[in-house]
Amino acid sequence: MPKKMPNFANEQEEQLFWSEHDSADYIDWEQAMPVVLPNLKPTTKTISLRLPETMIEQLKLLANKRDVPYQSLLKVFLAERIQQELISKTS
């Protein structure tokens, strides 16, 4: 039988509690069900990336044809290639 979950006054108090306690004492993970959170946006991080000017111009041209910002198209291209690489590594 899991222990009773305490009530927390704020997020900081909850973070402190979980840094010192094991969730297995409070949650029956055997009964846990997967949850899908479709409206969450992934955390992004700004990076600096040096690319040849010709590559940027070509990317802008492709993006213009698709009517999307070139940085968005770059993210799509990167995501597709990452998936391909991950799939080929596991095969």
What's residue 8's pLDDT?
Answer: 95
Q: Do residues 42 and 35 lie in contact, with contact meaning Cβ atoms separated by under 8 Å?
A: no
Half-sphere exposure of 6 (CA within 13 A, CB side): 13
Mean pLDDT by 10 residues, the chain (91 residues): 90 95 91 89 91 98 97 96 90 69
Where in the chain are the domains?
11-90
What's residue 77's pLDDT?
Answer: 97
Whole-number CA gyration radius for the chain: 22
User: Tokens 């009964």 appear where?
Assistant: 31
Q: Do residues 26 and 2 lie in contact, with contact meaning Cβ atoms separated by under 8 Å?
A: yes
Tens of pLDDT, residues 79-90: 999 999 999 877
What's residue 62's pLDDT?
Answer: 98
pTM exceeding the 0.75 threshold for the entire prediction = no
What's residue 42's pLDDT?
Answer: 83
